[in-house]
A and B are shown apart, each in its own frame.
Chain A
Amino acid sequence: MVAAISTLSDWAIPALIFFIPVYAFLRRVGVYESFVAGAQEGFTTAVKIIPFLVGMLVAIGVFRASGAMQVFAAWLNPLIQPLGLPAELLPLAIMRPLSGGGALGITAALINTYGPDSLVGRLASVMQGSTDTTFYVLTVYFGSVGIRKYRYALLLGLTADIVGLVASVLFTNWYFGR
């Protein structure tokens, strides 16, 4: 099953790059002209997100480097304990929605320190894989169309993250505790 899906992942991009232009050519589309017309938008979209990305990454960078994150984790710890989340994983839980690179760094450190087949290592792996960098995604996606008022999007994203986090703890304990 895993091998089949991973083969599908490997083949997906080459298949798209082959199939789309060939199909379009058969439908008499000027394939190269279409490609260039579409590709033109790539630059403007990427440039448009810069101010949003700078604002968000600077705030997250300052929060991490100053040590505020550890203080926040210490405050949050009593609230998180009843969920059965080991304290070592709290920094990862906080970092996961903020920064993909930061979270991956913490996950790698936890896996290497506690071992990949320990409870902490397994939990870190599941948490890393089961939620996304909500802040980063919102920043980039809304930034690309110039939207500054997120309405309930952030609340919604964080709700999904928290449910995903709690579910990670429960399912990991259940799956490896059987």
Chain B
Amino acid sequence: MVNLIWLLLLAGGGVAAVINGNVAVVTQAAFTAATDAVQIAFELVGLMALWLGLLKIAEDAGLVALLARAVHPLMRRLFPSIPRHHPALGAILMNLTASLLGLGNAATPFGLKAMQEMQRLNPNPDEASEAMCTFLALNTSCITLIPATVIGLRAAAGSVNPAEIVGPTILATTCGTVAAIIADQFLRRYYRWRG
């Protein structure tokens, strides 16, 4: 699926550029995006180092295992393939908590750590494991209690009540998360059955 979507984005863009007569724009867009990608990755280096350093301290002190044990009953249902006390559970939990609080720059390092831990349990290192699919579904649909950036934009534009969108946002995002959990259960079984 990702191959097809990637191709459609590129090929669709190429065709549209020819029809609109702005072929040169494609070159510009492609080069800019390639440079941006490297810049994004390098901006991550410092934050990754900071949070992975703190996470390592927390692991060595036994804090991550403590956290993993506390949420085990819930995690066992969502991630049946991850053994009890595995460090992946702690990292997953830290990631979800950070996104909940809207701490985007802490969420990514914890999330990547969780992926590394789950990759160790993955029987086919080339393919996404079931636990990874569940984790990413939760991650991309996860609730943010305070969408700070949007509230900032609304305040700047002179809204009477910039934070009034928090209620419907939480309701909508909860629906997305519930849908993700249900769809995950179906897709997991379907893909197992299909082999």
| A interface list, Cβ under 8 A from B | 2, 5-6, 8-9, 12-13, 16-17, 20-21, 23-24, 27, 29-31, 34-43, 45-47, 49-50, 53-68, 71-72, 104, 107-108, 111-112, 115-117, 121-122, 125-126, 128-134, 137-138, 140-142, 144-157, 159-161, 163-164, 167-168, 170-172, 174-176
Main secondary structure of the interface of B (DSSP, over half): helix
Contact of B53 among A5, A39, A49, A111 (CB under 8 A): A39
**Which residues of B lie under 8 Å from residue A125 when comparing CB positions?**
147, 150, 153-154, 165, 169
Q: A35-B56, A43-B45 are in contact. Are A65 and B183 (CB under 8 A)?
A: no
Which 3 pairs of residues, A with B, have the shortest CB-CB distance?
A38-B56, A164-B176, A129-B147
The number of chain B residues with a CB under 8 A from chain A is: 109
Q: A65-B26, A129-B173 are in contact. Are A156 and B126 (CB under 8 A)?
A: no
Taken together as a complex, chains A and B put the C-alpha atoms of A144 and B125 apart, in Å, by: 12
**Which residues of B lie under 8 Å from residue A50 when comparing CB positions?**
37-38, 41
In this complex, which of B17, B60, B132 has the most chain A Cβ atoms within 10 angstroms of its Cβ?
B60
Main secondary structure of the interface of A (DSSP, over half): helix
A-B contact pairs, 23 of them (CB 8 A): A24-B60, A35-B53, A38-B52, A40-B49, A42-B48, A64-B13, A107-B153, A108-B153, A115-B157, A115-B158, A116-B159, A140-B112, A145-B125, A147-B126, A149-B126, A156-B136, A156-B180, A156-B187, A164-B175, A164-B176, A167-B172, A174-B168, A176-B168
Taken together as a complex, chains A and B put the C-alpha atoms of A15 and B145 apart, in Å, by: 19
| B interface list, Cβ under 8 A from A | 1-2, 5-6, 9-10, 12-17, 19-20, 22, 25-26, 28-30, 32-34, 36-38, 40-42, 44-50, 52-63, 98, 101-103, 106, 108-109, 111-112, 115-116, 118-119, 125-128, 132-133, 136-137, 139-142, 144-150, 153-154, 157-169, 171-173, 175-177, 179-180, 183-184, 187-188, 190-191
Contact between chains at B20 and A164 (CB < 8 Å): no
Contact between chains at B56 and A34 (CB < 8 Å): yes
Contact between chains at B127 and A156 (CB < 8 Å): no
Taken together as a complex, chains A and B put the C-alpha atoms of A45 and B175 apart, in Å, by: 32
Contact between chains at B176 and A12 (CB < 8 Å): no
Q: A68-B16, A156-B137 are in contact. Are A42 and B165 (CB under 8 A)?
A: no
Contact between chains at B150 and A36 (CB < 8 Å): no
Contact between chains at B60 and A29 (CB < 8 Å): yes
Q: What distance in Å separates the Cβ of A142 from its nearest Cβ neighbour in chain B?
A: 7
**Which residues of A lie under 8 Å from residue B173 when comparing CB positions?**
129-131, 164
